[in-house]
């Protein structure tokens, strides 16, 4: 439990806050070299976050798992090891370049399906609300009119 809390704190501070601040500085100073460095870092860190989410649920029992996470985040950030740059240049860039068209097509399809799905949900929601309103109005009419009809 203590290892989890320490690794979470390290990942939040050194994996997110520190790089976020230096990304801000790179954008502010318009330093292209630093900007590219931090963009590579964020791409690698996004992949790390996806893998971490699955790994936390499946292999967290592994001895030294949280300590390895801490070491990995520090390795990614270190200007000496340039871990994020290494992973990006050796693995992610070639992979993304080879699959870029397929990924773009998938994103376009997902957007189109997402829009259609939202329209259908909206339509179903409006139909449900209209049915509920009519049902409530009819029920209210019969509840308030029944005593009047009986008295006639």
For 99-124, how does the pLDDT look when each residue is reduced to its tens digit (9 = 90+)? 999 988 888 887 777 777 777 777 78
34 compared with 136, residue with greater pLDDT: 34
Q: Output the pLDDT for position 127.
A: 80
Which residue has tokens 């009809």? Answer: 149
Please determine, for residue 87, whether its predicted confidence score (pLDDT) is greater than 90.
yes
pTM above 0.85, yes or no: no
Q: Mean pLDDT throughout 88-100? A: 93
H or E segment to which residue 134 belongs: helix 93-151
Does residue 86 come out as left (phi exceeding 0), alpha (psi in the -120 to 50 range) or beta?
alpha
Dihedral of alpha carbons 118, 123, 129, 132, sign: negative
């Amino acid at each position: 439990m203590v290892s989890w809390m320490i690794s979470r704190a390290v990942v939040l501070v050194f994996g997110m806050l520190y790089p976020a601040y230096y990304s801000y500085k790179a954008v502010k100073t318009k330093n292209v070299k630093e900007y590219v460095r931090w963009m590579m870092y964020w791409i690698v860190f996004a992949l790390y976050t996806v893998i971490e989410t699955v790994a936390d649920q499946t292999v967290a029992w592994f001895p030294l798992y949280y300590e390895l996470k801490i070491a990995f985040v520090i390795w990614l950030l270190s200007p000496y090891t340039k871990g994020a740059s290494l992973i990006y240049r050796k693995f992610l860039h070639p992979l993304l370049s080879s699959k870029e068209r397929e990924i773009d097509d998938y994103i376009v399809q997902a957007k189109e399906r997402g829009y259609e799905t939202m329209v259908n949900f909206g339509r179903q929601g409006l139909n449900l609300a209209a049915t509920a309103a009519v049902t409530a109005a009819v029920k209210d009419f019969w509840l308030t009119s029944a005593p009047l009809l009986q008295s006639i």
